[in-house]
Amino acid sequence: MNAVIPIQLDGGCSDAPVLRERGQREVFCGLTGIIWLHRKIQDAFFLVVGSRTCAHLIQSAAGVMIFAEPRFATAIIDERDLAGIADANEELDRVVRRLLERRPDIKMLFLVGSCPSEVIKLDLSRAAVRLSQEYVNDVRILNYSGSGIETTFTQGEDACLASLVPQLPAADKSATKSLMIVGCLPDVVEDQFARHLKAMGIEDLQFFPPRSSKALPTIGENTRYLLAQPFLTDTARALELRGARYVPAPFPFGVEGTTEWLRAAANLFNVENEVFEKVTLPSRERANRALDRHREKLHGKSIFFFPDSQLEIPLARFLARELGMKLTEVGTPYLHREHMKYELAMLPAGTSLSEGQDVEKQLDRCRTIQPDIVVCGLGLANPLEAEGINTKWAIELVFSPIHGYEQSADLAELFARTFVRKAKLGLDQRGQLVQNPASSSLESTTTSSSEAACN
């Protein structure tokens, strides 16, 4: 007997109204994705074609690597008129040639567009084709946009992967059904998923993006793809154009999400329920035990999500169903109904959903609700903290390993930490002193300081 997904697809928030806002927004741009993409594809280089602002963003988000050769840089294009564009193209070619001469280890080069008008005037796709002809057989040269006008911060990964899909080698037509896991995952998480899927007998398994540009997965009519990240709309479209087919599933956050995600793969390959249970049960039980210590801290606490990473709906589902948190508003930059089908069905009925942003109006709603914790971008976190509202930086949730069974408790802890820190400092939820902090032990205070630094 096959495993069956026990989720009512017409339940929860499947048909819930969504507040759509198209006003001013406060989000990072898609350049941010370079931080995790360059760690994943280990022989790729990301050359941002941008301004000094772009260079500052990348450098401060990634930190400066002193001992290692960095795998990202910014070619700064100064202000120039249309007549100067030919020079700018020559300059770009010169920068790329110098880079590739100095760094023969680079096997894949992404030219990443940004939003200054002088960069928009440059045709980076033509530059990529032009330079590819020069480096044919040596380096793949691709381009995508990380511009803040076109992308929010996780969409940078989507644009990057979508640009890579046409490069994937075609699978043999006679090949049997294969599974592709799509979305950047830390290596440790990827290994855990591979172990579970292989233990169920799913051997024909590929990850995209790969760890090396020389190990691109093959693709064809027999490829089925399972999304590991909820922000890959363009990548999914590009994969479909190459013949791959989507496997609907919730996202692998928390014990329930991970189980149903693995179950979707198991169903596809006709894995016996008994085998599925045998492979997943020990991890499920272990992860549930690890979650217990966070449940009491988070149960009943209210949470408000500003739109930022597109992880909001799956994370809200995890926090509500597995930890008992109360969802006030769940905002997302974009709502892809097909990819979110299971997630919406699993959200508690009556949850307020919003798509896009009109930041001042949303701040007003948040202030009226006074939630116990808010998930938002860095730009909103400090003002809200100053008003006594606890915040969690959305970017931290993207940078941390949070997928899968082993990481479920770490994910819960990212939220619980705020409340634990306040309790240790003798503060109430609004940051008001309720007991003399001097009565707290030195050990508690020391721990709290380092936790505070990580928020």
The nearest distance, CB 115 to ligand SF4, in angstroms, is 4
Quick one: 146 or 333, whose CB is closer to ligand SF4?
146
- Angle, vertex CA 313, rays to CA 311 and CA 318, nearest 5: 95
* Peptide bond preceding 169 in cis form (omega within 30 of 0): no
The nearest distance, CB 93 to ligand SF4, in angstroms, is 21
Quick one: 58 or 238, whose CB is closer to ligand SF4?
58
The nearest distance, CB 359 to ligand SF4, in angstroms, is 16
Which residues would be at the binding site for ligand SF4 (CB under 6 A)?
29, 31, 50-51, 53-54, 57, 114-116, 146-148
**CA nearest 373: which of 443, 304, 282?**
304
Quick one: 34 or 44, whose CB is closer to ligand SF4?
34
The nearest distance, CB 73 to ligand SF4, in angstroms, is 14
The nearest distance, CB 123 to ligand SF4, in angstroms, is 17
Output phi, psi for 7, to 5 deg.
-115, 130
Kindly state the tokens that stand for 225.
């793809």
The nearest distance, CB 59 to ligand SF4, in angstroms, is 11
Burial 19-31 (b: 16+ CB within 10 A, else e): eebeeebbbbbbb
Quick one: 29 or 315, whose CB is closer to ligand SF4?
29
Provide CB contacts within 8 A for 292, sequence distance 6+. none
Quick one: 146 or 404, whose CB is closer to ligand SF4?
146
Strand partners, 110: 46, 142
Q: Are 251 and 229 in contact (CB under 8 A)?
A: yes
Provide CB contacts within 8 A for 386, sequence distance 6+. none
The nearest distance, CB 54 to ligand SF4, in angstroms, is 3
Quick one: 14 or 147, whose CB is closer to ligand SF4?
147
In whole angstroms, what is the distance from residue 269 CA to residue 203 CA? 10
Do the strands 223-227 and 205-208 form a parallel or antiparallel pair, or are they unpaired? Answer: unpaired
DSSP 414-437: HHHHHHHHHHHTTB-TTS-B-S-G
Q: Are 160 and 110 in contact (CB under 8 A)?
A: yes
Rounded (10°) CA dihedral 303, 375, 255, 212:
170
Question: Which residue's beta carbon is nearest to the bound ligand SF4?
Answer: 148
In whole angstroms, what is the distance from residue 79 CA to residue 362 CA? 36
**CA nearest 77: which of 113, 49, 110?**
49
The nearest distance, CB 322 to ligand SF4, in angstroms, is 35
Quick one: 119 or 236, whose CB is closer to ligand SF4?
119
The nearest distance, CB 75 to ligand SF4, in angstroms, is 12
Quick one: 119 or 340, whose CB is closer to ligand SF4?
119
Q: Are 417 and 452 in contact (CB under 8 A)?
A: no
Quick one: 61 or 420, whose CB is closer to ligand SF4?
61
